Each structure stands twice: as C-alpha cells, then as structure tokens.
Structure 1
Amino acid sequence: MIKKFLFIILLFPLTFIFCDLIELSDIIIREHTPIGYLVVKLNTSSINQRYSYRFVNNNNREIQQYFSLNSTTGELRIVIDIDRELICLQRHIECKFLLKIFELYHEKLYHIPIIIDDINDHQPIFPYKTSYIELHISENSLPYQSKLFIQQAYDYDYMDNQNQLKYQLKNFDENFPFILEINDDLSNRLVLLLIEILDREIIDSYNCTLYVTDTNEHYTELFIKIIIDDVNDQSPM
C-alpha cells in the first residue's frame, strides 16, 4: 500500500520531502532465529540504479539494534540473538513493533511491522526462594473445611499462560490426607484440601512433591513438608 504524504526526514533536519509510504505486511520472526537470517530485501529491482537505505532515527533503538541494514540492497538481517522474553516484558500479549526505513534517492519510506513469535524455551517456576517449602496445619483442623495454599507457578513463555500449566501431586506419603485443588476462586493459588482427620500423636508430618508441567513437557518440582501443629488434646496421665 503506497500513500503520498509530507514527511520530515530526521536524517536530514529541516528537510521536507514528498515521499512514498510503503507499508509491508507483518513479518513473523521466531525468537532465537540464527544470526545472519535475512528478514527482508527492500531492493528487488534488476535495474542498475543508486539506492541508499537508512533507518529512520526515531525508530525504537532498543529494537533496531537487533538488525543490520545494507544501505545499497536494503537487506535487513538479524545480528543479535532475539529473545522474546527480554524484548517484550509483558508475556501474554503479542510482541510486535514497527521498523521504519527511508530510501533517499527514490524518496520511499518503508514501514516494516515485525512480530516476534514465541518458542517454548522456558520451564515453569514456582515463586519461592527454594524448591522446598514447609506448611503448617493444626491437628484439630476440620476435613473438607481446612485448606493449605500454594502459589501457582508462572512461565515466561507467551504460549504458556496460567491455564495451560498442569499440576500433579507425586511421591506423597501413605495415607496422605490432602487432595490438590487447581482452581481456587480466591486467587491464583493452588489448594491442598484436608480430607481426613489429623492426629499428631500418630503422624506429625507429611511429605509430597508438587509437579508443574508446561505445554512442551518442561517441568519443575516443589518439595512440600506439611507439619501438624499440636493442640492440647491429651488428658494428663
């Protein structure tokens, strides 16, 4: 699509040029595409003419640094590894930006929309300092009314939002008196729901491992120790 408009060339201050605006279709680049990859070639003419391509100075320089531009051929290539999670800090929205390139001799301004496509290269993470946590519950807690809360994991990858992470309890003790509830109405927390009566004098703690898996089978485990807090429920001898 080509439009005529009055454009101030920032490469040459105070110079006004009537130029053609050429809007390219979206170009999708997968993150971690190899260095040197040709994104687009703007000069496709076989006629021997002079061309001079330049980045427009009001480009987002943080994005522009990932690319090199051949001033004669208009070849746009990747020169720095593109990590979507570093470029787009908001994980769960489309990662899109606009590059602007001006060709001096033929007075053309190119708008090049770039979309960084996510790949699943991160494992989910629980928001704890270590992979081991301790939870406490009183031994007089009521079954099906008492809950222990665990923070959900998060994943930096765009494709792995909270609803796509899968959780599973494993390696739990015999007669483990809790079940895992994934969807809690209160917040983005997981719930261990007590389903049996506790007796600290018989068992004073329980152990289990909580696994979280993303859509590419990356997983993380959280080791949990549940400590049963004593209450004075024994008569003196």
Structure 2
Amino acid sequence: MSSRKKQRVWKEHPFLTEKGIQLIKQYTPPRTAIGMGRFASYKEYGEKFWRVGYGSQQVFGRAVSMHDKLYTNEIEEQLEKDLEVFSDQVQQYVYVPLNRNRKGAVLSFAHSLGIIGFKNSRLLELINSYASKREIIKEWSPYINKYWLSGGDLMRDRRRTELNTYFAADAKIPSFVRHDCHTSICLLNLPETYTGAPSQVKAVEYLEKKIKEWDPSGHVIRRFYRLWSTPPRGLGNQERPGRDPLDDQ
C-alpha cells in the first residue's frame, strides 16, 4: 500500500486544490490570536464589517460579529468555504487547462491581488495566451519584476514559491485532447520543467541510453518525433462566451 497522502478533490469546485489552500495559509497567516488556539474577530483599517481568522467575513452562515472567537479548526473550515467561492471566480478568467500545481499557484496569486486585480493582471494575460516560460518567469519572479519586492519579504517569498510551484512536475498534465498517461509522472512535464541543469542533462542521457537498448532500430524514437512535430489542429477557441461578472463592479 502506498504511503503517499491522497489528494482531496473538489468536484464542484475544480480550481480548488490542496496545494492552493496550503500556499494561501502559508502566506496569509490568521490574525488576532488570543491564546489556546482561539482567534478573535477584527476590523481592517477603514472597514465597517468584522473579519476573523484568515480574513473571513462570514462564519456559521452569518456575518462575523465583534464578539466572535473561533478555534483553529473553525477558521480553517471557513477559509476552505471562502476559497470554494473564490476559486470559482478565478476559474472564470483562466481559459487554458492547468494541472493541480498550476491551479494552486494561480489561486494563491489571485488571492493576494483580489479577483479584480487578478482579472486585470499581466500574468493572467500571459497564461491565457500560452506565453513562453521565459515570459511568465519575467512577470512572476520577484527577482526580475521588482514590483513584487514592494510587498516586503513575505511577498517576495510568496511569489518565488508560487512560481516554483507553477513549474513543478505533476502526475497528470491536462490537455485539450484526451491523454491517458502510462507513467506515474507524466512525460508532458518535460518541456515545462527543463532548465538545462546538469542533473537534467544526465537524466535525458540516461533515458536516451535506455531507449536505444529497447529500440535499437530507432523506429520508436523516429515515430515519436514525427508525432511530436506535427502541427496542432482543431484545438478550438479558448475564449469563453458570456458577460464578465465583474464588468459592473
């Protein structure tokens, strides 16, 4: 039996992942701890309504009040409920298929900007246009895009972690055409995770050596490259119809 922890799946909220929840919890610490694992409600400067924990405005199906004091498990449960709604909003603006790691990274990025900021962000535009890895790194990396340094060390680390998560390998890579992966880690990860590191070059050499042993005639590798190099057809329009729900905000 595998000891690997099974990933939770939210079928009704497909953009929500464990990775996204953990990233948000890591970089959005709960506020106003009063000891014994409890958190008091609070107000942000200039706001008239109360929040609790990770910024939740609702709890137990009602608005947060000045008297609310919640335990850790309660604020975490409420955060998950908040993210179910928020992830559905984020999904409306992402027009390309993403794996779980990428969904988690994008959800964390959107959560830190707010849905309106995310909707108008340059990064979302790049992702939806299938921009190159280089372009996405230039926009997302806090060491290249100095704008992210204005948020201090926490923002810098958040952007760095999100970027690393976005380009991390995943077991499955979604695509517009059906793909049944025959390995535990999908080989469609290779183009996006290649950095040119010596260890990766060594890994490719190892794979090439094994392929040569299995296929001394070279027939398999030739067929692979022929299929790989075939221009894509019929992927359809990735634009989604309908009015933007934020146009009136």
- Greater helix fraction, Structure 1 or Structure 2: 2
Pairwise same-fold verdict (TM > 0.5) = no
Higher relative contact order (CA 8 A, sep 6+): 1
Rg larger for: 1
- TM-score normalised over the length of structure 2: 0.21
- Greater strand fraction, Structure 1 or Structure 2: 1
- TM-score normalised over the length of structure 1: 0.22
